[in-house]
Structure 1
């Protein structure tokens, strides 16, 4: 009987995944620093890494963690993720990126967007947790 239950559960899981009905099992499991994972999605040059580090230099450890948390949920750290009119690691509107879809510009514009709208990445994270978007 338990084999049937396991098979039924697996079938329902596959069916749910096919229709996007499953929840994000890893929603609360996120490493504090996801640099390796983030860069695996898009290979960045040493120059880009240096520029991104400079862009994020003013963020505290807590702000960087909140930024990574959002990046994971929005795109699984992918700089090339697409969803309708949203693009990139932080799923910004394409118009907000002004045609420059580079990783460096995404980092810069995401910081600008969050600063203007929420004041900080931790506030943006709190909003995301309440609304599942930011």
Structure 2
């Protein structure tokens, strides 16, 4: 009888341990799946920039790239006095957010309000060497 109890207790312990391990393994997979699903919904920086510029015509994208090259050599960290970034915008215009995504948004807003299009901004730049 003692052997039966001892064997029963050992089996219960083994089953409990095995069940506990399965629960731990299964629960560790669930959050990872959730995290992976959430991460796949977020856009990368390059995707965000592409989305911002998708609204521009081919001519305006070309003019924007032309200005970016002349202003900073395409560098998002270029500095020149109070101006910063790929489009050499005033730091105050960036509102403390120096990220490439914000630079793209603010540059589009600036050019639209001042020139209307990047093509017109490029023409102005060609005459004045600034925009």
TM-score normalised to the size of structure 1?
0.66
Tell me the equivalent position of 1:127.
124
Tell me the equivalent position of 2:65.
68
Moved over 3 A (4+): none
CA distances 1:6-31 after superposition (whole Å, capped 9, x unpaired): xxxxxxxxxxxxxxxxxxxxxxxxxx
User: Within 5 A, what are the aligned runs for 1:39-58?
Assistant: 47-58=44-55
Matches of 2:106 and 2:84 in 1, distance apart? 12
Q: Specify which of 97, 102, 116 is matched with residue 99 of structure 2.
A: 102
Matches of 2:114 and 2:50 in 1, distance apart? 22
What secondary structure, in the 3-state scheme, does the structure 2 residue paired with 1:69 have?
helix
Tell me the equivalent position of 1:88.
85
Matches of 2:51 and 2:92 in 1, distance apart? 24
Gaps of 5+ in 1: 1-45
CA distances 1:74-106 after superposition (whole Å, capped 9, x unpaired): 000000000000000000000000000000000
Which is greater in Rg?
Answer: 2
Instruction: Kindly report the root-mean-square deviation, in angstroms, between the aligned alpha carbons of the 2 structures.
Output: 0.7
Matches of 2:100 and 2:55 in 1, distance apart? 18
Tell me the equivalent position of 1:112.
109
